[in-house]
Structures are given as C-alpha cells and as structure tokens.
Amino acid sequence: MSDFRLEAVKCKNCGSGLVVEMNDNIVYCSSCGSGFEILQEGLIPIEINFAAPAVRSEGEMIYKPFWLLKTTLNILERKASGAFLKNLFGGSGESTSGNITFYIPAFYCSLDTLRNIATQYTLKNPVASPQKYNVSLKGFDYGKQDAKKLSEFLLISFEAEKSDVMKNFRYDLIFNSMEILGIPFYNLGSGRFKDAVLGTEIQI
C-alpha cells in the first residue's frame, strides 16, 4: 500500500489541507511554504527552504528533501587514513576541529546512493542561498534521529576509508541546527534521477 495517502491535518499558518504520506516525519505546505515536524504532541514548525536549479537536463523537475545539519566537530584523537576531514576543513594532526554542514537525504535510497550524494554535497556545500518556493515536496522517510546517525556514519566511514590502518578516531559532534532543504532533481525515468545543482545522477 505504498500509494496510501491520509489527509489528516491542516496547515497551522494558512489553514490549507496537508496531505501526509504513510512514512512521513515531516509535512510541507505548498500553499504558504510552512514546514512541520510530525510529533506525538502535534505539528512542530521546522524551517524548509529550497536550492535553485543550476543544471539543465531532460525530464520533469521534482524536489527531493534533504536534512541540512549544521554541526561543530571536535576531534579528540585521530589516527586514521581518510582524507574526508582534511578536505572539509584542513589539518593533518590528530586533534582538530571545525564546522561541517551535512546534507543527508531525507528520502529512501540505497546506502551506496546516500553515501555518494551526501558526500558530494557535504564536501562541496553548493547551496549558498536557499529560497522559499511553493512547490510540492514529499518523501520524508528519515527523521531527525535518523539524520544524526547517518551524519555520523558518513563521518566515520569516509575517515576510515582504509579500515585496516584505522587505529583510533574519537570525536565530539555537536548538532547546532537542523532544517530541511529541497533539492531539484530531473526524473529521467526507470528510477533514475539527476540533481539540478551538481548534475549528479542517482538510482532510486
């Protein structure tokens, strides 16, 4: 019953009806641009913005949700082979720190696809000025706690890209803020999508 829809709530800001998909953790009002996190205590406002298209391609343009997590990373001990952190904010010693903005897909995709596109966006940080668009945004399969765990997975997996020489990696990751970013994709058909910011093609 993947196509099941439930019209259960109205936007707390404009009163428009909101359509909630079965596994959604977030709901977006395309009438006024308001976003809400679905919790037991009700709808809690959450910031939702959109990236502007920069790449042209064939296919219908749709927007897919990403978690945008602004974090502060403190490296307590680092004896690893990966270049992930060096590429992000430099430094070659065992102890360093810096700010990282993680881009984590909020929609379901394979772990390899998630790892690939999240890494490209996190390293390049290509969305400088998110905007408000009144467009459809669906497919919120991963919630806040999922996004936090996936951020740590991304951090560890790339810093330890050669696990046989990874000796120690201790860190403290502070989540300063979390919001949703809609990134434009072209639907190429057969489960293939091409993002309109970096031009990365993925299979879902």
Q: Are residues 69 and 109 in the same domain?
A: yes
pLDDT value of position 181: 95
Structure confidence at residue 42 (pLDDT)? 83
Asked if residue 97 is part of any domain, the answer here is yes
- Which pLDDT belongs to residue 89? 63
d(CA 187, CA 173): 35
Q: Is 42 left (phi over 0), alpha (psi -120 to 50) or beta?
A: left
Structural domain span for residue 12: 1-46
**Burial of residue 101, with CB atoms counted within 10 A of its CB: 0-12 exposed, 13-18 middle, 19 or more buried:** middle
pLDDT at site 180: 95
The answer to pTM > 0.75 is: yes
Residues 140/106, Cβ–Cβ less than 8 Å: yes
d(CA 80, CA 103): 23
Together in a domain, 89 and 125: yes
Q: 18 and 84 share a domain?
A: no
Whether residue 67 is found in the same domain as residue 19 = no
Query: Could you say which residues of the chain have pLDDT below 70?
Result: 1-8, 79-95, 159-167
- pLDDT for the residue 23: 76
Assess whether 95 and 174 both reside in one domain. Answer: yes
Looking at the structure, tell me whether residues 85 and 183 fall in a common domain.
yes
What's the CA gap between 68 and 151, in Å, rounded?
10
Are 144 and 108 in a shared domain?
A: yes
Q: How many domains does the chain have?
A: 2
Single residue among 13, 31, 46 that ends a domain in this structure: 46
Q: What is the pLDDT of residue 83?
A: 60
| Same domain flag for 148 and 184 | yes
Residue 59 in domain: yes
Inside any domain, residue 36: yes
Residue 135 belongs to some domain of the structure: no
176 contacts: CB under 8 Å, gap ≥ 6: 70, 71, 72
* 42 located within any domain: yes
Does residue 2 sit in the same domain as residue 65?
no
For residues 59 and 155, state if they share a domain: yes
